[in-house]
Structure 1
């Protein structure tokens, strides 16, 4: 589904884009200290910030837990459980945050993750996967795969007494993977790995303006090289940190970095792909939806006009942000409950 409208951004989006560009320039990601300062920031859950990000729903219990990855490293998880759901295990959605595999943190996604939990009736597990350049590819992907396997095991708490969400646990079936930008990349990569290697039965994925082609060869990368929020220079900087340049660096065509270049797509879970019209990543997201459809995967693709990269995180300042959240929550609710509303191969 493509919504037609003007390509110009609303004034409020332009003002936010300018503020974000001033605070996060590529030259401020040259040292680990500078990167650490950028990673640590998140918008406080109060006005006027919530006018932009949306509020954190009061009816969601937020907690923390962790699991041990394959190398023994303890990976943090931020949990969101809707109180209205009552006792008993709920379906789970793993959320992988954006930030170019370099920036971002789980707490910054409280408005998005809590909103999904409240409106979709699921437990959301925000995975604090390891970031570059300290941890190069495919470490982030490995952490996300391990997180899904942990969730599929029931995600027991460290003391074994309560569920990982601080309530009565999660269901091991109906598992979903989702994320935005680099997080969308990780959700797609994890879905491929889990299909091939097992360890978790993933029912659906939701990819919000995903980065699925590290070759950056699509037309929208050239068309929007100087776009608001995300530029070609940003993408070059992030990928340089994530891939590295040593002998063990992954090639940009490797499916663990570029799921668009995987050799097999059949058998992947039902997938929602949301793209933004004013985004360098627009065309690769659309291409990924198309190749899934061609291989018989249930797909819904929605392109949001007048929207820049990242618009899901600031619905108060971007065209389409609220509609995208509503579509995302509906997709999660439908598929977590096993109620599919699209036919195999359909593009909504």
Structure 2
């Protein structure tokens, strides 16, 4: 059962949004399916105001597997690169759904941003998305090409299921001997596909993202139930998190994924991985894509982008 409305919601706009969703939540993901969910998400993305202007935007194919990607370059000067992995329950999300996020990120940090159009479930179940993300990171670490012009640190960043992919890519690269990105940035990440943490029950419905929708996405990506506790899909279950890149982990108070993200940050710290971690008060899952709806969500996003900028300043 959902918790009662919290009087400490970050702003009136977010409160109104959640009240509207509670009044009309729409059909569950498992009743709609991936194709219709993608169509609806594309319509929502088209209805949002366009992202800020940026010096250079180009769609590319990169890496040995010819993975689709979109490059955002805030200036002609070569510099650091953020490899961005979008969220969407491993089944939806694309270059358009996170276009505003990537434009804001590039302008705020001064880094080039490469948004990865990895393969999605159910057409391409695990490990296809991880394979694509690892391939792109290896390609970037080898210098990319003249279109991207990597000259500086490489950071991998993902939100929600994209945070899951970022964590899994770092684990695989560590176990295979690198090359590791300089840092990892995880925004409200999925780290436990068994959905066993307490917030998956206390925030199960009524907060924008439902646990049943997340469970449906996990089922599409990892059809075998016994595999969802495998550390190759649920990084929280990895026996050893030592030797991973420094991390920024940011979660949201009113999010069913909150506790698994917080737990992963704690486990990284216990493994002596440098971690900057906070839980954003009063906001919900997906705040990076809610900036046009809620000033508080926009501010939470700006704080995360500032974390990335600080991280890049430290490692340049």
Equivalent of residue 268 in structure 2, options 277, 292, 297: 292
Q: C-alpha displacement at 1:13, in angstroms?
A: 2.0
8 Å CA contact retained: 1:163, 1:170: no
Q: Secondary structure at the match of 2:150?
A: coil
Q: C-alpha displacement at 1:307, in angstroms?
A: 0.7
Name the structure 2 match of 1:274: 250
Q: C-alpha displacement at 1:38, in angstroms?
A: 3.8
Q: C-alpha displacement at 1:147, in angstroms?
A: 1.0
8 Å CA contact retained: 1:177, 1:202: yes
Q: C-alpha displacement at 1:301, in angstroms?
A: 1.0
Equivalent of residue 61 in structure 1, options 51, 56, 71: 56
8 Å CA contact retained: 2:86, 2:158: yes
Equivalent of residue 138 in structure 1, options 124, 127, 143: 127
Name the structure 2 match of 1:163: 147
Distance 2:295 2:176 in 1: 40
Name the structure 1 match of 2:88: 99
Q: C-alpha displacement at 1:9, in angstroms?
A: 5.8
Name the structure 2 match of 1:29: 32
Q: Does 1:188 align with 2:177?
A: no
* Paired residues for 1:142-153 under 5 Å: 142-153=131-142
After superposition, the Cα gap between the structure-2 partners of 1:62 and 1:22, relative to the gap in structure 1 and judged at 3 Å, is: farther
Q: C-alpha displacement at 1:202, in angstroms?
A: 1.1
Distance 1:134 1:304 in 2: 34
Q: C-alpha displacement at 1:142, in angstroms?
A: 1.1
Q: C-alpha displacement at 1:123, in angstroms?
A: 0.5
Distance 1:219 1:322 in 2: 27
Unaligned 5+ residue runs, structure 1? Answer: 157-161, 341-348
Unaligned 5+ residue runs, structure 2? Answer: 1-5
Q: C-alpha displacement at 1:324, in angstroms?
A: 2.4
Q: C-alpha displacement at 1:97, in angstroms?
A: 0.3
> CA deviation digits over 1:77-109, x for unaligned, max 9?
0111003xx43x211001000000001111221
Q: Give the aligned length.
A: 309
* Paired residues for 1:218-297 under 5 Å: 218-245=197-224, 251-297=227-273
Of 180-189 and 325-334, more deviation after overlay is shown by 325-334
> CA deviation digits over 1:192-231, x for unaligned, max 9?
1112213433111111000001111111001011132211
TM-score computed with the length of structure 2 as normaliser: 0.89
8 Å CA contact retained: 1:209, 1:309: yes
8 Å CA contact retained: 1:38, 1:103: no
Name the structure 2 match of 1:343: none
Distance 1:329 1:60 in 2: 19
Distance 2:209 2:154 in 1: 30
